[in-house]
Amino acid sequence: MGKKAKKGNSGFDDNGYKKNVTSQVTDGTGKFKKSFKHHQNSDSQAPVIRKQVEPETAKYFSEIANLFESQGVDVEERSVICGNALEEARGKEFELATDYIISNTLQTLLDGCNLDNLCSFLQGCANIFPAIAMDRSGSHVAETAFKSLARHVQDAEAYTIIEETLKMICKVIVVNPLDLMCNCYGSHVLRSLLCLCKGVPLDSPEFHGAKGSKVLAERLNLKVSHLDGNDSQHLQQGFPSLLKFLVSGMMNSTKEDMKTLQVDQYSRDGLLGVCSLSMSFQVLILTALKLLAGNDQELLHIIPVLLGCNKENLAEGKFIDMIIAGETVESMKEPAFSHLMEVILEVAPESLYNNMLTKLLKNSLFELSSHPCGNFVVQALISHARTKDQMELIWEELGLKFADLLGMGRSGVIASLIAACQRLQTHEYKCCEALATAVGSKNETSKFIVPRILFLDSYFSYDVKSSWSWPGGAKMHVMGSLILQAIFKFQSEWIQPYILSITSMDAEHVLEAAQDARGARVIEAFLASDASTKQKRRLVVKLRGHFGELAMNLSGSFTVERCFNAGNLSLREAIASELLAVRTELSKTKQGPHLLRTLDIDRYATKPDQWRSKQASKQSAYNEFFVAFGSRESKSTKSNKLLYNASMDTSEHEELNIKKDIDGSLISTSVVDDTSSEKKGRKKRKRDVASEDAVGSNKAIEKAVKNFLSSSTPDKKRHNASKQRLKI
Residue 120 included in any domain: yes
Residue 151 included in any domain: yes
pLDDT average, residue stretch 215-229? 66
Percent of the chain with pLDDT over 90: 52
State yes or no: pLDDT of 205 exceeds 70: no
| Residue 70, burial from CB neighbour count under 10 angstroms (0-12, 13-18, 19+) | exposed
pLDDT in tens, 126-164: 999 999 999 999 999 999 999 999 999 988 899 999 999
Q: How confident is the model at residue 228 (pLDDT cuts 50, 70, 90)?
A: low
Q: Look up the domain containing 65 and give its range.
A: 55-222+235-262
State yes or no: pLDDT of 271 exceeds 50: no
* SS3 assignment, position 348: coil
Least confident of 219-228, 631-640, 718-727: 631-640
pLDDT computed for residue 50 by the predictor: 76
pLDDT in tens, 48-76: 677 888 999 999 999 999 888 887 677 77
Residue 696 included in any domain: no
Instruction: Select the more confidently predicted residue: 446 or 272.
Output: 446
Task: Yes or no: say if 135 and 97 are a contact pair by the CB < 8 Å rule.
Answer: yes
d(CA 305, CA 262): 12
d(CA 193, CA 668): 41
Residue 334 included in any domain: no
pLDDT in tens, 555-571: 899 999 999 999 999 99
What is the identity of the amino acid at 11? G
Contacts 24+ apart (CB under 8 A), 510-517: 510/539, 510/542, 510/543, 511/542, 511/543, 511/546, 512/472, 513/454, 513/476, 514/543, 514/546, 514/550, 514/556, 514/559, 515/550, 515/553, 515/556, 516/475, 516/476, 517/555, 517/725, 517/726
Residue 161 included in any domain: yes
d(CA 422, CA 439): 20
What is the identity of the amino acid at 80? V
Residue 690 included in any domain: no
State yes or no: pLDDT of 645 exceeds 70: no
d(CA 629, CA 336): 53
Residue 91 φ/ψ region, left for φ over 0, alpha for ψ in the -120 to 50 degree band, beta for the rest: left
Residue 403 included in any domain: no
Torsions phi, psi for 641 (to 5 deg): -115, 130
Least confident of 18-22, 339-343, 353-357, 715-719: 18-22
State yes or no: pLDDT of 177 exceeds 80: yes
What are the E-state strand segments in 48-203? none
State yes or no: pLDDT of 38 exceeds 70: no
Instruction: Select the more confidently predicted residue: 421 or 656.
Output: 421
* SS3 assignment, position 483: helix
CA angle (84, 89, 95) in 5-degree steps: 160
pLDDT computed for residue 128 by the predictor: 94
pLDDT average, residue stretch 12-27? 37
State yes or no: pLDDT of 348 exceeds 60: yes
- Report DSSP state, residue 225: -
Q: How confident is the model at residue 323 (pLDDT cuts 50, 70, 90)?
A: confident
| Residue 613, burial from CB neighbour count under 10 angstroms (0-12, 13-18, 19+) | exposed
Task: For residue 184, give Cα distances in angstroms to 249, 278, 284, 475.
Answer: 20, 10, 10, 39
Helix axes 138-150, 159-173, angle to 10 degrees: 150
Task: Yes or no: say if 191 and 287 are a contact pair by the CB < 8 Å rule.
Answer: yes
Tally of domains in the chain: 1
* SS3 assignment, position 297: helix
Task: Look at residues 232, 236, 235 and name the one whose alpha carbon lies nearest to residue 154.
Answer: 236
pLDDT computed for residue 313 by the predictor: 63
